[in-house]
């Protein structure tokens, strides 16, 4: 009998701490703003630096140059990428790499070493004319339909970039044609969906913590009526509510990561629970941060808007709250046990 471990291993926590240090140096608010205003949305050279420390190869097997870790070890790193509002396709690449690693075959043999080395970016989606995050930067598209999962190189799809409030999203509409010769045999598209849900939930937890930290710092320095606004009960209670919501969301994400990594029967339910809990916590953090910062929080010149817009983007990616609540209810009530992808 396998013992369930909801907390990440110490080495995973240490690795996440080193990633946080890298992001604090290379993806601070100034670098993030420059990336947004550049038109590309990405921080120059950062993807390669992340590859050099092992982030892009986290879910790539050691035989292909990666670390061979599962989702439970990746969660602390994903939290840190959320804390930094990282404008890089980490979720899609890690989830796609895990999917290819599980399926094996020639596609995995060709692409996994490139992913681990930081030479390839993945995008994930389903259905025709899919709207995908990171599509503008992707080298390989893993696209699902009723037949299976198709691996398509950039030259095999028609990509139309889409504008977004979140300029680090790299959104694009991908038009493509299914082809039997491009199906990834043995790939479980639903498993990839659940991995992506948990990964995005981890990023939302990081976003919520970053916005809470911003709000606390501001509340300790901004004065009204001769006192810091953080001394007023109305402000303290709102910040405490954010702290509690996020503190409750993180264990749910860890639980979902374990379920997905070990392919438990409750995998779909737990992944959706994580997405709901983390989304609500991050949305509460964004709303509270805007209220605490008051007028200055509405301005483009203040850094807060970048974290808020990333929160709104991720809240709707891989299913919104309504979709995932319905999925949890279905799993609990047993009306329709078959999971689905939005």
Domains annotated for the chain, with CATH where assigned, are: 10-182 (1.10.540.10), 189-333 (1.20.140.10)
CA–CA distance, 12 with 74 (Å, rounded to integer): 7
Please tell me the predicted confidence (pLDDT) of residue 10: 87
pLDDT higher than 70, residue 340: no
pLDDT higher than 90, residue 64: yes
Q: If you average pLDDT over every residue of the chain, what do you get?
A: 89
Could you tell me the CA-to-CA distances from 122 to 26, 95, 118, 139, 238 in Å, in that order? 22, 9, 11, 6, 39
The DSSP call for residue 118 is T
Query: Residues 106-132: pLDDT tens digits?
Result: 889 999 999 999 999 999 988 788 889
Please tell me the predicted confidence (pLDDT) of residue 301: 87
Please tell me the predicted confidence (pLDDT) of residue 241: 94
* Pairing between β-strand 122-126 and β-strand 140-144 as defined by DSSP bridges: parallel
Cα 80 from chain centroid (whole Å)? 10
Please tell me the predicted confidence (pLDDT) of residue 338: 52
Which residue intervals of 222-266 are DSSP H helices? 233-261
pLDDT higher than 90, residue 297: no
CA–CA distance, 190 with 111 (Å, rounded to integer): 21
Higher pLDDT, 9 or 340: 9
Query: Residues 176-201: pLDDT tens digits?
Result: 888 776 888 777 778 888 989 999 99
Please tell me the predicted confidence (pLDDT) of residue 321: 95
Backbone angles phi, psi at 151, to 5 degrees: -105, 115
pLDDT higher than 60, residue 1: no
pLDDT band with cut points at 50, 70 and 90 for residue 341: low
Higher pLDDT, 304 or 223: 304
Please tell me the predicted confidence (pLDDT) of residue 227: 81
Listing from the earlier edge strand, what are the strands of the sheet with 130-132?
A: 130-132, 172-175, 158-161
Determine the average pLDDT of the residues in 296-316: 92
Helix (H, G, I), strand (E, B) or coil at 339: coil
Determine the average pLDDT of the residues in 145-155: 85
How much of the chain, in percent, has pLDDT values that exceed 90? 61
Least confident of 69-73, 94-98, 337-341: 337-341
Least confident of 50-54, 182-186, 314-318: 182-186
pLDDT higher than 60, residue 44: yes
Please tell me the predicted confidence (pLDDT) of residue 3: 65
CA–CA distance, 24 with 46 (Å, rounded to integer): 12
């Amino acid at each position: 009998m396998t013992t369930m471990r909801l907390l990440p291993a110490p080495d995973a926590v240490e690795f996440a701490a080193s990633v946080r240090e890298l992001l604090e140096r290379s993806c601070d608010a100034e670098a993030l703003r420059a990336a947004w205003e550049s038109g590309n949305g990405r921080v120059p050279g950062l993807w390669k630096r992340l590859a050099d420390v092992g982030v892009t190869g986290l879910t790539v097997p050691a035989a292909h140059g990666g670390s061979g870790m599962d989702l439970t070890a990746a969660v602390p790193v994903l939290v840190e990428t959320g804390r930094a509002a990282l404008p890089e396709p980490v979720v899609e690449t890690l989830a796609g790499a895990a999917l290819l690693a599980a399926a094996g075959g020639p596609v995995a043999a060709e692409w996994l070493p490139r992913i681990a080395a930081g030479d390839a970016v993945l995008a994930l989606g389903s259905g025709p004319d899919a709207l995908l995050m990171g599509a503008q930067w992707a080298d390989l598209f893993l696209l699902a339909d009723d037949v299976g999962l198709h691996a398509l190189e950039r030259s095999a799809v028609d990509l139309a970039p889409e504008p977004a409030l979140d300029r680090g999203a790299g959104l694009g509409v991908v038009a493509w044609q299914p082809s039997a010769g491009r199906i990834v045999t043995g790939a479980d598209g639903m498993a990839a969906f659940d991995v992506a849900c948990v990964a995005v939930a981890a990023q939302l937890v990081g976003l919520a913590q970053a916005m809470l930290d911003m709000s606390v710092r501001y509340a300790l320095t901004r004065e009204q009526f001769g006192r810091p606004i953080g001394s007023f009960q109305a402000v303290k209670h709102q910040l405490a509510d954010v702290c509690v919501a996020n503190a409750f969301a993180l264990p749910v994400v860890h639980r979902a990561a374990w379920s997905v990594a070990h392919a438990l029967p409750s995998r779909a339910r737990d992944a959706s629970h994580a997405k709901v809990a983390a989304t609500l916590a991050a949305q509460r953090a964004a709303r509270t941060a805007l209220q605490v910062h008051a007028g200055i929080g509405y301005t483009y010149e203040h850094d807060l808007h970048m974290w808020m817009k990333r929160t709104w983007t991720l809240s709707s990616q891989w299913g919104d709250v309504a979709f995932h609540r319905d999925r949890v209810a279905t799993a609990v009530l047993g009306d329709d046990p078959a999971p689905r992808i939005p």
